[in-house]
Structure 1
Amino acid sequence: MSQPQNKKSNSNITTISVALVLCLVCSVMVSAVAVGLKPKQVENSRLDRNKNILLAAGIIDSPEVSNSEIQQKFKEFDIKLVDLTTGKYATEADLQAAGITDVADYDANLASKSKDLGIDLGDNDPAGIGSKPKYAKIYVKNGANGQPELIVLPIYGYGLWGTIYGFLTLEDDLNTIKGISFYEHKETPGLGARIEEPEWRAKWEGIESYDDSGEVATGVTKAGNHKDNWVDGISGATLTSRGVSNFIQFWLGDQGYKPFLDNLRDGKEA
Structure 2
Amino acid sequence: MASNNSTLKTIKVALVLCIVCSVIVSTAAVLLRPAQQANKDLDRKTNVLAAAGMLQKGDDVNAKFASITARAVDLATGKFTDAVDLDSYNQRKASKDPELSVDLGDADIAKIGRLPKYMIVYVVEGDAGLEKIILPIKGYGLWSTLYGFVALEADLNTVAGLGFYEHAETPGLGGEIDNPLWKAQWIGKKSYDANNKQALTVVRGKVDLSRSESIHEIDGLSGATLTSRGVDNLIKFWMGENGFSPFLSNLRAGEA
Whether TM exceeds 0.5 here: the answer is yes
- Aligned counterpart in structure 2 of residue 11 of structure 1, from 2, 6, 9: 6
Which whole-Å CA distance do the structure 2 matches of 1:44 and 1:143 have between them? 27
Alignment of 1:184-199 (within 5 A): 184-199=166-181
Equivalent pair of 1:140/1:150 in contact (CA under 8 Å): yes
Change (3 A) 1:9 1:123: farther
- Aligned counterpart in structure 2 of residue 65 of structure 1, from 58, 61, 64: 58
Are 2:69 and 1:86 equivalent residues in the alignment?
A: no
Cα-to-partner distance string for 1:78-127 (whole Å, 9 max, x where unaligned): 2211111111121x4xx2xxxx3x33443223223223221221232111
- Aligned counterpart in structure 2 of residue 133 of structure 1, from 116, 121, 126: 116
Are 2:139 and 1:157 equivalent residues in the alignment?
A: yes
Equivalent pair of 2:67/2:126 in contact (CA under 8 Å): no
> 1:142: which partner in 2?
125
Relative to the length of structure 2, the TM-score reads 0.89
- Aligned counterpart in structure 1 of residue 231 of structure 2, from 211, 219, 244: 244
> 1:119: which partner in 2?
102
- State which structure, 1 or 2, has the greater radius of gyration over its C-alpha atoms: 1
> 2:152: which partner in 1?
170
Q: For 2:230, what is the secondary structure of its paired residue?
A: helix
Q: Residue type of the partner of 1:202?
A: A
- Aligned counterpart in structure 1 of residue 65 of structure 2, from 69, 74, 79: 74
Give how far 1:267 is off.
Answer: 2.4
Which whole-Å CA distance do the structure 2 matches of 1:153 and 1:127 have between them? 15
Are 2:43 and 1:48 equivalent residues in the alignment?
A: yes
Which whole-Å CA distance do the structure 1 matches of 2:105 and 2:32 have between them? 38
> 1:206: which partner in 2?
188
* Aligned residues with identical type, % of pairs: 51
**RMSD (Å) for aligned C-alpha atoms:** 2.0
Which whole-Å CA distance do the structure 2 matches of 1:246 and 1:187 have between them? 16
> 1:226: which partner in 2?
207
Change (3 A) 1:238 1:23: farther
Q: For 1:243, what is the secondary structure of its paired residue?
A: helix
Which whole-Å CA distance do the structure 2 matches of 1:256 and 1:173 have between them? 18
Give how far 1:182 is off.
Answer: 1.3
> 1:3: which partner in 2?
none
Q: Residue type of the partner of 2:207?
A: H
Change (3 A) 1:76 1:123: same
Which whole-Å CA distance do the structure 1 matches of 2:127 and 2:242 have between them? 31
Change (3 A) 1:50 1:110: same
Are 2:250 and 1:263 equivalent residues in the alignment?
A: yes
Give how far 1:33 is off.
Answer: 1.5
Q: Give unmatched runs, 5+ long, in structure 2.
A: 209-213
